[in-house]
Structure 1
Amino acid sequence: MNTPTAPCRVSVIIKALNEEANIAAAIESCLAALADVGGEVILADSASTDGTVQVASRYPVRVVQLASAGDRSCGAGPQLGYQHSRGEYVYIMDGDMKMVPGFLEHALAFLAQHPEIAGVAGRVVEQNTESLEYRERGERSLRAEPHRNPGPVDRLDGGGLYRRRAIEEAGYISDRNLHSYEEFDLAVRLRSLGWKLWRLPFDAVTHFGHDAPPYRLLLRRWRSRYACGLGELLRGALGKPRMKLVVRGLRELRLYLGVLAWWALLVAVAFWPMESDTRVTVFGVLLGAPFAAMSWRKRSLSRGVYSVVSWCVQAAGLLRGFLAPRQSPRSLIPSLVLHDEVERSPFGFERENRISDTHR
């Protein structure tokens, strides 16, 4: 792996797939944020089929891409970028985000004062607040996701700034096998080594998210294997010291296991010794109870039904992901360097210009 060897202070890795509409704003925000701290911007592209790479190549950034679209996953993107990074600190963000000016200065100062902290993040400011998916996420954030609040946290969802030294101790920045939960996986690997994580009370990024009908989004998550991430995470943690942290930190795991038990109960009804009419009635009651309960809880039939359908997709993904074959997360991801242009101005390191250098 011919990773650039000259060090810099911060590597900002933007992971993207078909973000032509957003990538320019993401890159420009990162370049502006690095102007006062020094560093590099790396676009880790997951074999986009739109103009993402072409747009990114207009800027003084490093553009690297998966050699095969078959390697696409949420875990592969950050690891791909990390393979080509050289920063003492590494920031991970999505291609539909924009970095807020001034956050990196706050984060670097905090890490300098707290050597026991492996990574810090700030607030993720959601811009797409109208869709059903993000309304549900917003409610969960307020009630049941304390890791989104300032202070010590057990994970850094939404990106964060990490010490390279801590990542090296953990072995890799993200597991290429994971189609989601990659940030939680990094967090438990770091915490199992004694490192701590922190969320600062400052805005770090704005996030535009997916603007798609909720059921289409669920279908997309199934097809892309995003729904399989929890099962893949559990499979990777089997027999590892971090398994206790995984089980303890995932409240949704109990929910999805409950859904699987509900399915088993529905199947078992067919074998209960009772009249067929009674069996049909019992089956209907058991089938409809979760939908009725969630609709009452949310005061909305559509939101209640969506919640239960979403649980079912995630529960099926749990099984699918757990049974999926794995590659070594420490193995090198085959990649291409499509554009590499780093200027001395304004970041203070030498200009490089290499195109289409294959890395395997």
Structure 2
Amino acid sequence: MISVIMICRNQSWNIARLIESVLQETAGFPNTQITLLDSLSTDSTVEIARRYPINILRFLPGARLTPNIGRYIGHSVSQGDYLLFLDGDMQLSRGWVEQALAVFAAQPQVAVITGATVDVPKNSDTVVEDESLLPTDPAQIPLPFIGGAGMYRRAVLDKIGTFNPWLKSEGEPELCIRIRQKGYQVIMLDRPMVYHFSDPTDKISTMIGRWRRRLYMGFGQNLRNKLGTEYFWPYFWERGYGCAPLLVLALGAATFATSLITRQAGWFLAWLGLVILVLIADALRKKSLYRMVYSLVQRTLVTAGTVRGFFITPQRPEDFPMQYEVIQQASPTADKDS
């Protein structure tokens, strides 16, 4: 049995396209459970979704919303052996579900499967795929972790734990690292999985928006949560992006203090010159001043978010308030050929 969990907020412009692609791709699988979790949309997202035979849950006004709460609740209310998580601005690709299930069946060590996310301008029409051009046996590429759309084996989540709803970000990488540490695999099928209808993401303004929504604090939260556990160093080495800049800043502070004490500016100027040379080299390597500035801003925000997140007191996932209501219930879909 498959459980599809779609998480959305104010996506009336796309929700019908997403739901129809899911219904089409799961029509041949018996007892598919399809659930939409709405994060307090103020548009007609829920009204549109109610036209379809799916379950609809909606968070209550005043509910605490985090990037992972939809996945956490989706896991808790679903019964499928495999859980497919999708965002509201996506369209599911033809044939991906069938290929993913075949891999799960043949390889019990595989716990998470994703595919290529194809970014499409937000105002684009529905993507019409030529199935003859899609690979029938796509290559399997090992990944350290995924982000966004993915299918998970329930038995593994039940064994090691599911998403942490308290995290401000970094939910999927954190979970995938735990999964891999227990000997399971995370893979990508080398073919489209979803089409992602969105605005350009490579803008500094987009990063600033993420900072304002506190979406860089998950790095620090995870480091704090994993202190003293077997997962701390694996997470630190793979996702501790904000720690290296902290060391650079600490070295700068030390050279500045040394220059003040010795009244010799050479120490601090040497540090400053080295930093400038690294930035110039980065711009030359990227062949773009903008890309260098983009990377610098990103690392700065990640570092600041890591520090802020580290001081958030860890809490148990099971203590997170589950504040939602059931808007619509639908029976699991049956196999059309049964």
TM-score of the superposed pair, with normalisation by structure 2: 0.83
- Residue in 2 that maps onto 1:337: 325
Aligned length: 317
Distance change (3 Å), C-alpha of 1:170 and 1:272: same
Matched, 1:262 2:248: yes
Distance 1:261 1:243 in 2: 18
Q: How far does the alpha carbon of each residue in 1:153-190 deviate from its partner, in whole angstroms, 9 at most, with x for none?
A: 33233322222111111222x11122222111221222
Distance 2:57 2:323 in 1: 7
Query: CA contact under 8 A between 2:33 and 2:332: conserved in structure 1?
Result: no
**Secondary structure of residue in 2 paired with 1:71:** coil
Q: How far does the alpha carbon of each residue in 1:11-30 deviate from its partner, in whole angstroms, 9 at most, with x for none?
A: 11112233232222111111
**Secondary structure of residue in 2 paired with 1:50:** coil
Query: CA contact under 8 A between 1:45 and 1:66: conserved in structure 2?
Result: yes
Query: CA contact under 8 A between 1:159 and 1:183: conserved in structure 2?
Result: no
Amino acid aligned to 2:247: A
Residue 90 of structure 1 deviates from its aligned partner by 0.6
- Residue in 1 that maps onto 2:9: 17
Distance 2:62 2:180 in 1: 32
Matched, 1:99 2:92: yes
Unaligned runs of 5+ in 1: 1-8, 130-148, 349-360
Distance 1:69 1:298 in 2: 44
Distance change (3 Å), C-alpha of 1:108 and 1:213: closer
Residue 266 of structure 1 deviates from its aligned partner by 3.2
Query: CA contact under 8 A between 1:62 and 1:337: conserved in structure 2?
Result: no
Distance 1:179 1:210 in 2: 22
Distance 2:100 2:291 in 1: 38
- Residue in 1 that maps onto 2:41: 48
Alignment of 1:242-281 (within 5 A): 242-250=231-239, 253=240, 255-273=241-259
Of the candidates 82, 100, 112, which is equivalent to residue 119 of structure 1? 112
Distance 1:99 1:62 in 2: 18
Matched, 1:206 2:167: no
- Residue in 1 that maps onto 2:303: 315
Query: CA contact under 8 A between 2:55 and 2:330: conserved in structure 1?
Result: yes
Query: CA contact under 8 A between 1:46 and 1:69: conserved in structure 2?
Result: no
Amino acid aligned to 2:227: L
CA RMSD of aligned residues (A): 2.7
Amino acid aligned to 2:42: T
Distance 1:102 1:128 in 2: 23
Residue 233 of structure 1 deviates from its aligned partner by 1.8
Q: How far does the alpha carbon of each residue in 1:261-285 deviate from its partner, in whole angstroms, 9 at most, with x for none?
A: 2222333344233558768855753
Amino acid aligned to 2:203: P
Matched, 1:153 2:146: no
Distance 2:22 2:216 in 1: 30
- Residue in 2 that maps onto 1:139: none
Distance 1:288 1:272 in 2: 20
Q: How far does the alpha carbon of each residue in 1:17-68 deviate from its partner, in whole angstroms, 9 at most, with x for none?
A: 3323222211111111111113122112223333332332232222223335
- Residue in 1 that maps onto 2:126: none
- Residue in 2 that maps onto 1:76: 69
**Secondary structure of residue in 1 paired with 2:244:** helix
Deviates more, 1:26-35 or 1:45-54: 45-54
Distance 1:260 1:158 in 2: 28
Q: How far does the alpha carbon of each residue in 1:92-136 deviate from its partner, in whole angstroms, 9 at most, with x for none?
A: 11111111121111111111112222222222222259xxxxxxx
Distance change (3 Å), C-alpha of 1:347 and 1:86: farther
Distance 2:78 2:321 in 1: 14
Distance change (3 Å), C-alpha of 1:167 and 1:279: closer
Unaligned runs of 5+ in 2: 123-138
Distance 2:315 2:274 in 1: 40
TM-score of the superposed pair, with normalisation by structure 1: 0.79
Amino acid aligned to 1:33: E
Distance 2:181 2:264 in 1: 53
Residue 315 of structure 1 deviates from its aligned partner by 0.6
- Residue in 2 that maps onto 1:328: 316
- Residue in 2 that maps onto 1:61: 54
- Residue in 2 that maps onto 1:293: 281
- Residue in 1 that maps onto 2:131: none
Distance 2:179 2:18 in 1: 27
Distance 1:345 1:318 in 2: 43
Matched, 1:28 2:20: yes
Residue 235 of structure 1 deviates from its aligned partner by 1.9
Amino acid aligned to 1:327: Q
